[in-house]
Structure 1
């Protein structure tokens, strides 16, 4: 079973299209989006409509929920600033974003074990929480125990990693998907994760669960130029080029 996980597209259509093309080549068995479809660029509707058309199971991200507070008028579409990105979202797509779930749980029963993969945007406690790679181990284990998660998959920080925490005779896995459309790890290439579960996979031997970070190139200049040609801050374009 090969599961593709991605998040933080942030209305970057060139990056999203490049990721989908890469997915077609890799042919995963299942695909999940961990949220943040919108914000920071000019294609929120195109990105959202592709996800909806493909029927990809999707979580709410913190930026997706920001559309709830936006009152869009003809004047607001002419104003500059970062909120311009949310005013672009159509009423129909706003309704969709505001009804997305916060968590997805996948239960597996393999080799006489039952274990759970839990998907969240920020964390299982808060959509805005950063589960960073160096977050206190006991805190992470406590959060995973609350959520009954053996494997916790998150986005939000835009920094990919795979962390394994030994607890008793089992391994707990924490995976950050990185970002499709706005990386912050110094590498402007987009990123998503492929999780491979084998028939003999279990939580007592970490190597039986394979985690691959898939980096892909896309037209960064096209995405950056679209920002610079819009009322959005030019700084957003610089962040794409330098991945910070």
Structure 2
């Protein structure tokens, strides 16, 4: 089974459309989004509408959560600044964001062995906790044990990695950060998503029990940055796209 996973679109429609085109060509069996559909760009409604049209199972990210504390202002009274990105969101889409789940869990039974996949935006403990490639190993193993996760998939940091850890019982555990579709912070401006392959012999007893492929997708970064510069959003958001930081 091949599962496409992505996160942190941040209303960057050009990057999202390019990613979807590439993803569709891969013909995954299932698709999941780990949140942060909005913030930093001017296309939150277009992104949310496409997610909803496709019926993609989606988590709530920390930026999606912000709509709960921001009141939409009339279009005739635009407010320049960082919060403007959230004021753009239609009320029906705000209601959608409020009801998104914190976690998704998939439980496989392969050859009589359990294989648990857990999806979170930041971590299973907090929507805005960073689980980084160099986060203390014992702490990460504690998180995995607490969540009963053999594979933990997260976003939030905008920096992709696949980390394999060996638990005290000898089982191999995986932590995968999906990177970001719309706002990478690893020096590479291309959007990033993950294709996970669960095999008929996938197991926690071997380090390469699953296959994780990171796919980078080119899009018109300059056009996307220009759209920000022509809006009421801070110009620094446009520079962040160009520099991928």
Same fold, judged at TM 0.5 (above): yes
> Which residue in the other structure is 1:13 paired with?
13
**1:47-126 superposed matches below 5 A:** 47-74=47-74, 77-126=77-126
Q: CA deviation at 1:78?
A: 1.9
TM-score normalised by structure 2 residue count = 0.98
- Paired residues, number: 244
Partners of 1:30 and 1:24 lie apart in 2 by: 11
Contact 1:6 1:191 in 2 (8 A): yes
Contact 2:103 2:119 in 1 (8 A): yes
Partners of 1:65 and 1:208 lie apart in 2 by: 34
**1:205-220 superposed matches below 5 A:** 205-220=206-221
- CA-based RMSD: 1.0
Partners of 2:69 and 2:39 lie apart in 1 by: 13
Partners of 1:146 and 1:208 lie apart in 2 by: 21
> Which residue in the other structure is 1:3 paired with?
3
Deviations, residues 30-52 of structure 1 (Å, cap 9, x unaligned): 00000000000000000000000
Contact 2:153 2:175 in 1 (8 A): yes
Deviations, residues 209-229 of structure 1 (Å, cap 9, x unaligned): 100000000111111011000
DSSP 3-state at the match of 1:72: coil
Partners of 2:75 and 2:202 lie apart in 1 by: 56
Deviations, residues 166-218 of structure 1 (Å, cap 9, x unaligned): 11321010000000000000000000001101101111112231000000001
Contact 1:77 1:84 in 2 (8 A): no
> Which residue in the other structure is 1:185 paired with?
186
Partners of 2:175 and 2:40 lie apart in 1 by: 27
Q: CA deviation at 1:73?
A: 2.1
Partners of 1:30 and 1:205 lie apart in 2 by: 24
TM-score normalised by structure 1 residue count = 0.98
> Which residue in the other structure is 1:242 paired with?
243
Structure 2 regions of 5+ residues with no counterpart?
none
Partners of 1:224 and 1:77 lie apart in 2 by: 24
Q: CA deviation at 1:72?
A: 2.1
Q: CA deviation at 1:98?
A: 0.4
